[in-house]
DNA sequence: GACATCTCAGACAGAATGTCTGACACTGCC
DNA sequence: GGCAGTGTCAGACATTCTGTCTGAGATGTC
């Protein structure tokens, strides 16, 4: 029952590229993140992808010469994970206190308030 | 603008004791956390408190021989910090997406739903 | 004064993170 | 076939964070 490691800021940058551009190669990702492409930044991205793969956030297609990567989680999945981690840490795993806490201190526009009411009513 | 470090699980255990028992000494905290009191566990708690102090989570009263500690943040403040950290990381700092996200996937009892509606309506 | 208890400074190992180097494999072109 | 360009992979490396522990010295009690 080992706690899944958090996704790092650098790793998130890689995921961001992958969300915009699925099936990217390491070179493409590197060029998107670092302004100057170099063998070492290429290797850095390689290592980040390797770790993201270990965290089940990325899948690798080995069929071509240069491997192609895609994200296996969406941004909202990651949000879920993070919120669950907070809930585990501070609310015995329950998300409800988070929701109530946020509802009591977040300023909402009329628009958002309306949407939120709808969301609540739709849940059975 | 360095990002404030997260509170560790061990540090949280210390805060938990402090929330139950304000004005505690290191010895009291140590005895509450570790089953066997020892000089080394005492020193460990000392170090955790030192780090919590650096993170502005704990204040120290040096007037007596043995210092007394109290938490300077509540559990809900910590919850706030964590949620803000998630928002910074994934939602450009806005808490609203978190709220909407949670509202759309958290199961609520009728009781909770009622409370949540009230919370929303009370926000101006 | 003897002894327990405290604080404080710092050492220490293990893990996570970001970076980089070197060895080797594949591709395509001459 | 040979070679340059590009890939992968394994691993070294410094830094930081975390939890733990030791030793020196100050303060309290009897």
The tens digit of pLDDT for each residue in A34-91 reads 988 999 999 999 999 999 999 999 999 999 999 999 999 999 999 999 999 999 999 9
> B11: Cβ under 7 Å from strand D?
yes
Is A25 among the domain residues? yes
Q: Among A80, A91, A102, select the one facing B95 at the smallest CB separation.
A: A102
CA end-to-end span of chain A: 31
Residue A2: predicted pLDDT: 65
- Among chain B residues, the shortest Cα distance to A3 is held by B9
Is A1 among the domain residues? no
Q: b/e for A20-55, b at 16 or more Cβ within 10 A?
A: eeeebbbebbbbbbeeeeeeebbebbeebbebbeeb
Q: Using 50, 70 and 90 to split pLDDT, how confident is the model at B91?
A: very high
- Statement: residue A28 has pLDDT above 60: yes
CA separation for the pair A96, A16 (Å, rounded):
29
Is B28 among the domain residues? yes
Q: Of residues B123 and A122, which shows the higher confidence score?
A: A122
Residues A92 and A63 in one domain: no
Q: Using 50, 70 and 90 to split pLDDT, how confident is the model at A124?
A: low
Q: Is the ipTM of this complex over 0.85?
A: yes
CA separation for the pair A107, B103 (Å, rounded):
15
Greatest Cα pair distance in chain B: 54
Q: Range of B61's domain?
A: 9-71
Residues A65 and A89 in one domain: no
- CATH number of the domain that residue A48 is part of: 1.10.10.10
Burial environment of residue B15 by CB neighbours within 10 A (0 to 12, 13 to 18, 19 or more): buried
Q: Among B9, B102, B123, select the one facing A98 at the smallest CB separation.
A: B102
Residue B1: predicted pLDDT: 58
Q: To the nearest 5 percent, what fractions of chain B are helix, strand and coil?
A: 60, 5, 30
Residues B63 and B82 in one domain: no
Q: Are B66 and B25 in contact (CB under 8 A)?
A: yes
Q: Write the secondary structure of B62-106 as one string of H (helix), E (strand) and C (coil).
A: CCCCCCEEEECCCHHHHHHHHHHHHHHHHCCCCCHHHHHHHHHHC
Is B49 among the domain residues? yes
Q: State chain B's mean pLDDT as an integer.
A: 93
Q: How many independent structural domains does chain B possess?
A: 2
Is A108 among the domain residues? yes
Q: State chain A's mean pLDDT as an integer.
A: 93
């Amino acid at each position: 029952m080992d706690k899944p490691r958090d996704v790092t800021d650098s790793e998130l940058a890689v995921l961001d590229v992958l969300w915009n551009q699925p099936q990217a190669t390491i070179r493409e990702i590197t060029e998107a993140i670092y302004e100057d492409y170099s063998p070492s930044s290429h290797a850095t991205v390689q290592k980040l992808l390797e770790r993201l793969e270990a965290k089940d956030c990325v899948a690798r297609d080995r069929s071509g010469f240069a491997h192609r990567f895609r994200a296996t989680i969406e941004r909202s999945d990651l949000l879920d994970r993070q919120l669950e981690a907070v809930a585990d840490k501070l609310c015995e795993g329950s998300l409800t206190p988070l929701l109530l806490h946020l509802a009591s201190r977040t300023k909402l526009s009329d628009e958002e308030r309306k949407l939120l009411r709808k969301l609540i009513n739709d849940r059975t």
